[in-house]
Amino acid sequence: MTELAFESGLALAEKIRKQEVGCLELLDYFLERAHRLNPKLNAIIEWDEERARARAREADAALVRGEIWGPLHGVPMTVKESYDVAGLHTTRGNPVYRDNVARRDALAITRLRQAGAVIFGKSNVPLNLADFQSYNEIYGTTNNPWDTARGPGGSSGGSAAVLAAGLAPLETGSDIGGSIRNPAHFCGVFGHKPTWGLLPPRGHAAPGVLAQSDLTVIGPLARTATDCEALTLAMAGPDEIHAAGYRLALQPSPFASLADVKAAVLIDHPRARVSQAVQGRVQAVADAIRAAGGSVDFEARPDIDLDAGHANYQMLLWSVMASRNPEDAYLKLQAQAATLDPADDSAQAQVLRAQVASFRDYSLANEHRTRQRWAWHEFFRRYDVLISPIMATVAFPHDHRPFGERSLDVDGETRPYFEQLFWAGLAIASYLPATVIPTGGHPDFADATLPIGVQIIGPEFGDLKTLGIAKLLEAAGFGFMPPPGY
């Protein structure tokens, strides 16, 4: 049954419905594979085997009775550690929460179970979900299946590594600075960052936190665009507090083929330089759309100063991230900011000021962001999507030095480590959906040694539009390719 390892989740669900494989049989298959391959990856860091087996037995019994729980009936999966799963730890990679055990499932987990999923474990994250790598003091370092000397990305790095290695067919992530899309790119899988608020995140937060964070979204990772779509729809829809008046009514993708697509393309930018290898993949996606008869425009941009927009995103981002700190840590930031020279405009000073921003500062940044959202809205009246990189390079070697000592090598040029937030922020700052597709399965790149992903950004609540184009590009050859040895 080796071929089952890289089947899509929906294909496995169909095999279950056709009784070609049993639910418990399939779970045991993935558990055996995960226990055998996970030690060299450290992607799965907590297991829930016995409850998963009980659930799989119930799923088998339900089939005998003619019951189908949902589109994922009996399909095994793992989830990002930061989602609450009753009885399992939720630490967010932070030793302060080492002993925190969730009392109830996150809403998204409840909905995945209602769709029929069988959850058997949790995948690794970085400290406070705040890195392009996935390591922490509690669970250690997660390695990239393509090259274990490199990271799988972050903060949903464990999720992407699980998928790439075929340890489970479906996964979940979250994203405030590329944390779904960056790992998808580094590991060669699909990832979808939904429109802000489309997937209610209740149960995905630090202990005791109930309010939805600005910028942050939860979303899926998978090995096919169709699986990403299915997971998105399974988790989407209003939370109970909104359910009396809101309904999920996403417009379906309008594209019958790539010939119907009108795309703008942004390949590189002085704010965040991109390697020639990554630029080549963005160009290849644009070429595929144009070759199919679609429209491609390399000059079109929303009526936004992208540099100013990125600075505003960082203001919002660091403010939100710092608000999660314990009080003593936040007071230290305030003390440090008070010592800054008013003339100090260094990147470090800008971050520190953003971390302790006043409510007025935040409100002004939100006004700037809201004007950007309307500019994007007008832009998407003329173009269906914007296609861009999500990171400058392929996965880089593990680097656990302090953030201030890290950098990225972009074709021999040393660039700041967090500069790559520019590409993530294009979508995050304005609440836009963005789907990352792998490109390694395309015949032109079949001999690639490391994966490269490309980002498809669409209008607010145009999630099925970006996912629909991802499905068309997948059919054109831009799909998942298993890493050697798995």
β-pair type (413-416, 217-222): unpaired
What's the rounded Cα separation, in Å, for the pair 156 and 441? 22
Contact 80, 217 (CB under 8 A): no
Rg (CA), the chain: 21
Distance from C-alpha of 85 to C-alpha of 104, rounded to nearest angstrom: 6
Q: Which of 215, 251, 147 is nearest to 466 (CA)?
A: 251
109-148 b/e (C-beta count within 10 Å ≥ 16 → b): bbbbbebbbbbbbbbbbbbbbbbbbbbbebbebbbbbbbb
Based on the residue annotation, tell me whether 253 is a catalytic residue of this protein: no
Residue entry with tokens 């795309």: 263
Query: Sign of torsion, CA 319 395 448 274?
Result: positive
* Nearest-angstrom CA–CA distance, 481 and 440: 6
Q: Which residue in the list 8, 82, 123, 155 is annotated as catalytic?
A: 155
Residues 6+ apart with CB under 8 A from 481: 188, 438, 440, 441, 446, 448, 451
Cα 200 from chain centroid (whole Å) = 15
Tell me which residue of 378, 371, 413 sits closest to 392, measured CA to CA: 413
Q: Is the dihedral of CA 420, 411, 143, 24 positive or negative?
A: positive
Q: List C-alpha distances in Å: 11 to 28, 104, 241, 446.
A: 17, 30, 34, 24
Q: How far is the C-alpha of 120 from the C-alpha of 439, rounded, in Å?
A: 29
156 noted as active-site residue? no
Catalytic residue among 8, 80, 123, 156: 80
Strands 118-123 and 140-141: unpaired
User: What torsion do the CA atoms of 462, 465, 466, 470 make, to the nearest 10 degrees?
Assistant: 160
Given the residues 179, 319, 388, 430, the one annotated as active site:
179
179 is catalytic: yes
SS3 77: strand
Q: Which residues carry out catalysis?
A: 80, 155, 179
